[in-house]
Each structure stands twice: as structure tokens, then as C-alpha cells.
Amino acid sequence: MKFILLQAPAADAAQTASNVWAMPLMMGLIFLVMYFFMIRPQQKKQKAEAVFREGIKKGDKIVTIGGIYGKVLSVNEKTVLIEVDNNVKLLFDKTAIRANPDATEAST
């Protein structure tokens, strides 16, 4: 005696349809997690640093990306002249300015 199951192909078709959507859904979720935990915070940090660099004025204390602490003597469009010691002046590109030392100490 042979028994034929008529519902087996329908179950396979439903499972195949769910598998088709599982991979894109998982990839989308992984991208969303990466965006909110990695990409977005980095963009916010870069924007805050750019706003800080544009707001530098004479007399501000700064830290360069090389770790040099100094006081701003003059600001041009692309450069900043800082004094690191008595009569020791260094000229830096604005993009080499990292942060205000008072703000970095407060955040740690």
C-alpha cells in the first residue's frame, strides 16, 4: 500500500519563500546596527571637531593631533600659530588641531 502526502510540496514552497527573505532581512539589520553604533557616532564626532576648529580664536588653549599643548597666538584661514613655551611658536594647519585640553579632561 502506498501513501501519498499532498501537503509536502506546499510546506517546501513556504519554507523556501521564508528563506528568500531571511538573508536580506539579516543583512539589513546588521547594516542598521553598524550605522547606529559605528558610523553615526563617528560622523557626529567629526562634525563637532570641525565646529571647534572653526571657532578657534586668539588666547584659546588647544591640543594638536600630535599631543602638543599650546596657546593660540593667531588664526588664519587655514593655519594657527601657537605658543608652546616662552618664545617657542609653532605654525599648524587647522586640521591638526584636535581639541580643547579643558574639554578633554572633563570628558574623561
Instruction: Name which of 11-15, 30-34, 67-71, 87-91 the model is least confident about.
Output: 11-15
* pLDDT tens per residue, range 36-45: 999 999 999 9
What average pLDDT does range 89-108 have in this prediction?
78
Which amino acid is present at 55?
A: G
- Three-state DSSP class for residue 78: coil
The vertex-42 CA angle with 100 and 44, nearest 5°, equals: 65
pTM of the model: 0.62
- Mean pLDDT, all residues of the chain: 84
What confidence tens digit (pLDDT) does each residue in 52-65 have? 999 999 999 999 99
14 contacts: CB under 8 Å, gap ≥ 6: none
State the pLDDT at residue 108. Answer: 47
Question: What are phi and psi for residue 39, nearest 5 degrees?
Answer: -75, -50
**Bigger pLDDT: 17 vs 87:** 87
**Dist CA 66 CA 56 (whole Å):** 18
Query: 72 with 62: CB under 8 angstroms?
Result: yes
Give the SS3 label for residue 3.
Answer: coil
Q: State which amino acid sits at residue 20.
A: V
- Is the Cα torsion angle 34, 37, 41, 42 positive or negative in sign? negative
Does residue 78 carry a pLDDT above 90?
A: yes
